[in-house]
Structure 1
């Protein structure tokens, strides 16, 4: 059994925020990416109802772009799920639906990043991301 640490903290090592990305089980009838969601954990919390505590996570969603992996890389591409105002969609999920960590890498265009671009802004700055394979 493998163990991973999923982090959602405002200050990682006292400097920058860290909100890890995850694969979320969506539809067990589909294999691979077609049955999974990709999300970014904003925070972990517990909700109590009728004396039962439910461990949950507030997540921001990404959607798979296209019906198949990218031809050149073999990796799936995801985009942030945005509402009509351009705000990324969020929801609360039970942590039992979290499958594992996901690693997102920007799909870089043909322009250079500004010299003062900081890595901590990556997941808020691009419109498309490659996602690692399972």
Structure 2
């Protein structure tokens, strides 16, 4: 694979929002998921400073639930990160720290899923997620 398209748009095809999740490089010395964090791209933007352009992204952080992958599935578990006041944990990052796209699978509870729930509401509707290492062979190598 040579490139991935990571979307962050309020209206994808004039129908619904599309904010992809990504893996962010936070520790270059660590191996696999130990050096990566999960985030959701809210928007892309750039700014100029001293005649240099800085391409950035506004992200919402996810927290790892454990220090290792789940024993049963072998997948890492994450949940959205919030501040003490309940606001989302947002940050501005340089896009060079984005390692690759990430596929998150909701961790379902024993409650029924509402019939009106659309796929584009899943990140906001569920409390925790698996980082899908079975999405492709690159994800498998990274998240194992």
Q: State whether structure 2 residue 43 is matched by structure 1 residue 48.
A: no
Counterpart in the other structure of 2:29: 29
The within-5 A match list for 1:35-114 is 35-114=35-114
Equivalent residue for 1:8? 8
Residue segments in structure 2 that go unaligned for 5+ positions in a row: 134-138, 140-144
RMSD, matched Cα: 1.0
Q: How many angstroms apart in 1 are the aligned matches of 2:80 and 2:88?
A: 6
What's the offset of the Cα at 1:106? 0.5
Which 4+ residue blocks in structure 1 deviate beyond 3 angstroms? none
Instruction: Name the counterpart of 1:128.
Output: 128
SS of the aligned residue for 2:100 comes to strand
TM-score norm. by structure 1 comes to: 0.96
Q: After TM superposition, give the deviation of residue 111 of structure 1 in Å.
A: 1.2
5+ residue gaps, structure 1, are: none
Deviations 1:18-43 (A, max 9, x none): 00000000001211111001000000
Name whichever structure is richer in helix by fraction: 2
Q: Aligned partners of 2:100, 2:85: CA distance in 1, in Å?
A: 30
Normalising by structure 2, we get a TM-score of: 0.90
**When the two structures are aligned, how many residues end up with a matched partner?**
134
